Structure 1
Amino acid sequence: MAKHSKYQDQQVNHIVSDIIAVLEKHQAPVDLSLIVLGNTVSNLLIGSVGKNQRVALAQAFSDALLNSVKDSK
């Protein structure tokens, strides 16, 4: 999703692969997968980000997601 990151591609790709493997293990269809991922993002924001920063970070995440979907053809 992000074009520039402080994390190595290998680390990101490994975690993404693990998450996809779990979704496949549960044979989660796309809509259920999106619900699970959305709930995960919400839980991370609520549990790890200060109340004053949540909306701004959620907006930045949303913008990055939209841009990544628009850019992929």
Structure 2
Amino acid sequence: MPIQSRYSTAQIETVMQAVVDTLNQHGCDRELSLMVLGNTVTTVLNQQFEPAQREAVAQQFCAALQKSLG
């Protein structure tokens, strides 16, 4: 059974494109882009999750990222 998201594909793609556009506007190469995105994920985890939740959410995020590459 596919995973249902509360967000529409259009909403996800719109925000994603805005992030990519911002990286491009700043002339970010792939290394800087990955550093910025990684630091952004860390900021979201630290600001929006309780300390006891962070590691589990980070592991779920990493697993989802790896799955999306396969």
TM-score w.r.t. the length of structure 1 is 0.89
- The equivalent of 1:36 in structure 2 is 36
What is the DSSP-based 3-state SS (H/G/I as helix, E as strand, rest coil) of the residue aligned with 1:55?
Answer: helix
What is the DSSP-based 3-state SS (H/G/I as helix, E as strand, rest coil) of the residue aligned with 1:53?
Answer: helix
- The equivalent of 1:51 in structure 2 is 51
Gaps of at least 5 residues in structure 1 are none
Q: Does 1:12 align with 2:37?
A: no
What is the DSSP-based 3-state SS (H/G/I as helix, E as strand, rest coil) of the residue aligned with 2:64?
Answer: helix
- Structure ranking higher on relative contact order (CA contacts 8 Å, 6+ apart): 1
CA distance in 1, matches of 2:4, 2:57: 16
The one-letter amino acid of 2:41's match is: V
CA distance in 2, matches of 1:67, 1:29: 24
1:5 shift after superposition: 1.3
CA distance in 2, matches of 1:67, 1:4: 16
1:4 shift after superposition: 3.2
TM-score w.r.t. the length of structure 2 is 0.93
Q: Does 1:62 align with 2:49?
A: no
State the number of aligned residues: 68
The one-letter amino acid of 1:36's match is: V
- What is the RMSD of the two structures over their aligned residues, measured on CA atoms? 0.9
Q: How high is the sequence identity, in percent, across the aligned residues?
A: 35
